[in-house]
Structure 1
Amino acid sequence: MKRKINLLPFVVVTILFFLLNAYVLSGIHTLSSSPIIAPIFWTFIAIITGSLIYAIQRMRDNGMDIFFKIATHAFLVLFVAEIVFVVMLLPSDTYSLFSGKPRNVYWVEFAMSLFVLTVLIFIYGIIKGKYAYRVIKHTLYFDNLPDSFEDFTITQISDVHAGSFQSPKGVQRGIDLIKAQKSDIFVFTGDLVNNKAEEIVPWISYFSQIKAPYGQFSILGNHDYGDYIKWDTESHKRANLEQLKLHHADLGFKLMLDEHVELHKDGEKIVLAGVENWGIGFGERGDLKKALTDVNPNDFKILLSHDPTHWDAEVKKHPSKINLTLSGHTHGMQFGIEAFGIKWSPVKYRYAHWAGIASENGRYLNINRGFGFLGFSGRIGIWPEITVIKLKKS
């Protein structure tokens, strides 16, 4: 028996998309009444939309190849720019409708200017923004920090997603910034690849340049387990994970799998622990209890845990005080604004705290905005981040 397909959602979306474009075209007609505008406009829309549909249909055989990326990004840029145009023009048109006055041409020009600006911003984000690395520095104070670790520095990156990189020059710029920090320790908090271990191979010579006096440490993120693609067999999936673990060693990273190490300085120590990925909705693999086995509750502790929901769910109230947790995962959704006192990204509707420092119960969390990118091949307003944290005694 054939499964009945519900076409209603498709019909509704098609109608809404047509109305959106018809409204945009009406705005263009306000600025020019040339008869060739409508056929050119609808031909352009048909090409962009048709390319998207074709790219999705062939994705099963070709994956997310270059054609898929171009088609999806072209449609995304157009759609967002049209939404901006409509949002800006609609209030003016509503006023004109109820006042009986003609459409305000100057307002149409303003809306069109924002349309063009939106397209240009997206183009910048796709070409330059994804490699526009920022160094963000924090100084954190702790009452139980051992004296020897005063001014101890940590450089953190997260979410490399090596399978998305296309620019060796861009990546090297980020590596050079990491090296320039000359921190005491380097940590990577998960998602080295998108899905497959082989994605990091072309970039091993880049990330293996990173060295720190007290070592380089890493953990796994949700994407590292290969959960988001289909494998021929379960054994292939397991083999991929084991190969990825070996690549962490190739990078010179000590991969921490529910374990801890002690960092010693001048006869004193702090504890660095790392767990496998633990995130609400993304797999709760990590075992914090195992990672802290034989750790004195009074020791100063730093935890590497990829998903910040782990901090909310378990870490911040854990009976053994974990002074600082370093996470990533959110990417800041690679889109938003952090300027003029504004901090906003759509990801805030999924994560109450999605970037930077949070504190509660005398414990700190830092969420790194990510070194790489995934899905949307760019960054707008939420730039790739290298975090440097200095520890101070309060």
Structure 2
Amino acid sequence: MKRKINLLPFVVIATFVFLLNWYVLSGIQTLTISTWLSPVFWGFIIFITVSLAYSIQRMRDNGMDIFFKITTHTFLVLLASELVFFIVLFLGDGYRLITGAARNVYWVEFGLVLFGITVLIFLYGIIRGKYAYRVIKHTLYFDDLPENFDGFTITQISDVHAGSFKNAKAVQRGIDLIKAQNSDVFVFTGDLVNNKAEEIVPWMGHFSQVKAPYGQFSILGNHDYGDYVKWENETIKQANLQDLKRHHGEMGYRLLLDEHVALEKDGQKIILAGVENWGIGFGERGDLHKALTDVDPKSFKVLLSHDPTHWDSEVKKWPSKIHLTLSGHTHGMQFGMEAFGIKWSPVKYRYAHWAGITSENGRYLNINRGFGFLGFSGRVGIWPEITVIELKKSRL
């Protein structure tokens, strides 16, 4: 029996696209009296919209194949650029209504220039931005940091999503940046793959190059459990998870599954703990109590926890002080602006803290913006991140 096609997504998308493009076209038409502009314009818009609706419908059976990626990315770039044009045109029309002036073509021309710039920015994000690795450094001060760990450095990456990678040379540049930091310890805070363990196999030679004097440690993220694809049965799904855990070890990473290790330096130690994924809406698997079993409450503690909602919900209120939590997960939505004193991304409407350092009651959280990418095959304004954190002893 043929599966019935759900037309609702198409109707919603088509209605929104029609209204937006009707307004956009009204602006462009002020620049020309050509009779072919309207049919060509609408023909292109209809083609893109129908292709998008069809690719979404078939995704359930074919996954995010090349057709899906082309249609979604084309639609996204077009939509973002048209929204920029819409804003300029709307402001111009607002000015026109207030002053009683005729529609000024200079507003339209300015809008078209910004439209073109937006397209170019997104193309850069798709071609180069997703591999434009940045090293972001933080120095954090603690009164109770053991003296011998003054100046101790941690390099963190998160959200590799190896199944999205295509450019081995670009990934190697990121690995070389990690190695160049020469940190005391290296940590990875989850989402090694998109869905399946096999995705990391072609890249294991890259990530196994990362070494640190006090070791390499890792945790699992929500995507690592294989929850977002269909499996033939639960046994196969669990076998995939076991394969992924084995790959962590093969790369030289100590996978922390609700457990901790002590890092010792000249007779003093700090605790490095890691929990399974715990996130609101993404599975609350992690057991912090188990991870800190037999840990002296007064110990200096660093926690690896993939989803930052864990910090807000549980970690920052934990009876014994967890000094620093390292998370990822948000990707900064791979789109936003962090310049000229502005820090904005649409992801802020989902997560109170979505990138960088925040603190409360002397407990710090760092959210890494992610090393890889997922869904949108690019990054615009929120670049892939390698974090370096230096721990310092507070001086009176």
TMscore range, shorter length = over 0.9
Considering only aligned residues, what root-mean-square deviation do their CA atoms show, in Å?
1.8
Partner of 1:275: 275
Gaps in structure 1 of 5+ consecutive residues: none
Does the 8 Å contact 2:10/2:50 carry over to 1?
A: no
Q: Does 204-213 or 111-120 show the bigger shift?
A: 111-120
Tell me the SS of whatever aligns to 1:273: strand
- State the alpha-carbon separation in 1 of the partners of residues 19 and 204 from structure 2: 49
Residues 362 and 98 (structure 1 numbering): CA distance in 2 closer, same or farther, change over 3 Å? Answer: closer
Partner of 2:194: 194
Instruction: State the Cα distance separating 1:4 from its structure 2 match.
Output: 11
Q: Residue type matched to 1:238 in 2?
A: Q
Instruction: State the Cα distance separating 1:19 from its structure 2 match.
Output: 2.2
Partner of 1:252: 252
Partner of 2:67: 67
Q: Does 175-184 or 55-64 show the bigger shift?
A: 55-64
- State the alpha-carbon separation in 2 of the partners of residues 99 and 325 from structure 1: 55
- State the alpha-carbon separation in 2 of the partners of residues 186 and 287 from structure 1: 22
Partner of 1:370: 370
Partner of 2:225: 225
Does the 8 Å contact 1:317/1:361 carry over to 2?
A: no
Tell me the SS of whatever aligns to 2:198: helix
Tell me the SS of whatever aligns to 1:141: strand
What are the Cα deviations for residues 261-283 of structure 1, in whole angstroms up to 9, with x where unaligned?
01111111111000000111111
Partner of 2:51: 51
What are the Cα deviations for residues 103-134 of structure 1, in whole angstroms up to 9, with x where unaligned?
11111111111111111111010111000000
Tell me the SS of whatever aligns to 2:359: strand
- State the alpha-carbon separation in 1 of the partners of residues 322 and 9 from structure 2: 48
Tell me the SS of whatever aligns to 1:156: strand
Instruction: State the Cα distance separating 1:6 from its structure 2 match.
Output: 9.1
Instruction: State the Cα distance separating 1:186 from its structure 2 match.
Output: 0.1
- State the alpha-carbon separation in 2 of the partners of residues 174 and 5 from structure 1: 43
Tell me the SS of whatever aligns to 1:322: coil
Q: Does 346-355 or 24-33 show the bigger shift?
A: 24-33
Q: Residue type matched to 1:371 in 2?
A: F
Gaps in structure 2 of 5+ consecutive residues: none
- State the alpha-carbon separation in 2 of the partners of residues 358 and 9 from structure 1: 38
Alignment of 1:1-394 (within 5 A): 11=11, 13-97=13-97, 99-394=99-394
- State the alpha-carbon separation in 2 of the partners of residues 98 and 358 from structure 1: 44
Tell me the SS of whatever aligns to 1:303: strand
Tell me the SS of whatever aligns to 1:112: helix
Tell me the SS of whatever aligns to 2:386: strand
Does the 8 Å contact 2:260/2:273 carry over to 1?
A: yes
Q: Residue type matched to 1:280 in 2?
A: I
TM-score by length of 1: 0.96
Instruction: State the Cα distance separating 1:99 from its structure 2 match.
Output: 4.1
Tell me the SS of whatever aligns to 2:154: strand
Residues 236 and 319 (structure 1 numbering): CA distance in 2 closer, same or farther, change over 3 Å? Answer: same
- State the alpha-carbon separation in 1 of the partners of residues 372 and 12 from structure 2: 36
Does the 8 Å contact 2:277/2:286 carry over to 1?
A: yes
Does the 8 Å contact 1:368/1:385 carry over to 2?
A: yes
Instruction: State the Cα distance separating 1:40 from its structure 2 match.
Output: 2.0
Q: Residue type matched to 2:382 in 1?
A: I
Tell me the SS of whatever aligns to 2:155: strand
Q: Does 177-186 or 100-109 show the bigger shift?
A: 100-109
TM-score by length of 2: 0.96
- State the alpha-carbon separation in 2 of the partners of residues 12 and 186 from structure 1: 46
Does the 8 Å contact 1:208/1:252 carry over to 2?
A: yes
Tell me the SS of whatever aligns to 1:153: strand
Instruction: State the Cα distance separating 1:317 from its structure 2 match.
Output: 1.4
Residues 309 and 57 (structure 1 numbering): CA distance in 2 closer, same or farther, change over 3 Å? Answer: closer
Q: Residue type matched to 2:345 in 1?
A: S
Residues 76 and 206 (structure 1 numbering): CA distance in 2 closer, same or farther, change over 3 Å? Answer: same
Tell me the SS of whatever aligns to 1:353: coil
Instruction: State the Cα distance separating 1:8 from its structure 2 match.
Output: 7.1
Tell me the SS of whatever aligns to 2:141: strand
Residues 12 and 302 (structure 1 numbering): CA distance in 2 closer, same or farther, change over 3 Å? Answer: closer
- State the alpha-carbon separation in 2 of the partners of residues 288 and 223 from structure 1: 20
Q: Residue type matched to 2:241 in 1?
A: L
